[in-house]
Amino acid sequence: MVPPKDFVGSQPPAEHTLEIEPKARFELIDVNRMISSTDESFEAFDKAVYCSYHTTAGYLDQNFCERLQNDPESVATYLNTFRELFPPDADYRHDQMDLRDELSESQRLVEPRNADSHLTYISSGLGNVVTYENRPDKPVFFVELDGMSDQHSRKRRTTVIGYNKSVKESSIVCQVPVSAHPMDSINLRSDGLGLYDQLNEMIRALGIKSGRIDMALHHSEQNAGLTVNEYETLLMRDDLIDVLHNPMRFVAEKGYNMLRDPRAIPEKAKNYAKYDLVRAVNKFIDKTGLNESLVERVLDKFLSVPASRFLRMKRGVSLLVSAPEGKEVGEIIQGTYQSPILVQWRRAPESVRRLNVRFVRFE
């Protein structure tokens, strides 16, 4: 029996951490169905925040899923347009284990070759933390992009917090130094930057036990975006930068034996790749039934070289705050390899980027 609304409204936020075992490399998993099978009272909360601990599995925004009518086939078709751009086994530097100096010999044997999944995650607009209006009758998809490794299922975790009210406790502006390179990525979790020390100090000062940190580029910042992913040097400084220079770079390799000199892919191969991509986008439009004007916008985003028109990278990301068992004050909750990352595709005028950071408490 579901408790009455006023009863739940008097209760603190409810938190569930779910263990997920994917059955395929690419899979959509309805987290709402998993929660409803264990806690009927959860559906009485007004809001729910969903957190993924992984860099190749996350969530799409609620508004976007509703535009796709929460239909799993439409969502899958949308994501497949990005998977077309980043085929498995292309010439990703991240996947060349002999270059991964941070890995031991034993780690190189088991490390997944999954640069395609990372780039799909970043480009398609997946998020590690998303907030939904709580609608238990609608699916909420945990999007898995790399659920199998050598035929073995990978273990996944997601945390969901139901609450009725969020209160903005404070906000600050942080300055992030950036290089003079026009295309670059900055690890916002880096110890040398000191941003996380500042965030955790604010959490303690505000006494937030359950909540969220929202980080967004200042309105004056242009030609930059934010994501949460693995800050691995070859992935961020080589593969992602290659995509910023040429969005068609990896898909153009597929089937055309261009791996020996991928930076000099002939124009004919690029045109073939664009043709394949147009077919994938048209399939997405046909499946969703969206209007024709969207076709032009989607194709323009994919086929125009400027990264600002290609990546569905966001201007803001969120981090979950939760208190470990027995603790009265929360801390930033995230996976081992997750880092907020600032990506720029044009030089910042003053070699610094500004972030608006907001601290929110759940009640």
Average pLDDT, integer, range 22-46: 93
Q: Does 347 reside within a domain?
A: yes
* Cβ pair 153, 21 in contact under 8 A: yes
The answer to whether position 91 is within a domain reads: no
Strands (E), 218-276: 224-229
Mean pLDDT of 207-217: 97
Segments forming the whole domain that contains residue 175: 166-247+304-363
Length, in residues, of the chain: 363
CA–CA separation, 80 and 78 (whole Å):
5
What pLDDT, on the 0 to 100 scale, is given for residue 290?
55
- Identify any residues that bridge with 322 across adjacent strands, giving them in sequence order: 210, 331
The order of strands in the sheet holding 57-58 is 27-30, 141-144, 57-58
CATH of the domain at 313: 2.60.120.460
**Tens of pLDDT, residues 104-141:** 999 898 889 999 999 999 888 899 999 999 999 999 99
Looking at the domain assignment, is residue 79 inside a domain? Answer: no
Q: Extract the tokens encoding 37.
A: 């099978």
Q: 210-217 and 166-177: which strand pairing?
A: unpaired
Backbone phi, psi, residue 291, to 5°:
-70, 165
Q: Is residue 192, in this structure, part of any structural domain at all? A: yes
Q: Which H or E run contains 278?
A: helix 267-288
The two three-digit tokens of residue 59, written as one number: 């969530």
Output the pTM of the full model: 0.84
Determine which of 100-109, 186-195, 286-295 has the lowest per-residue pLDDT on average: 286-295
Residue 243 · residue 79 · CB < 8 Å? no
pLDDT digits (tens, 9 = 90+) for 153-168: 899 999 999 999 999 9
Structural domain includes residue 361: yes
Confidence of residue 264 (pLDDT cuts 50, 70, 90): very low
Q: Is residue 329 part of a domain?
A: yes
Total domains present in the chain: 1
Does the residue 352 lie in any domain? Answer: yes
Asked whether residue 111 is domain-assigned, the answer is no
Instruction: Tell me the sheet residues that pair with 224.
Output: 344
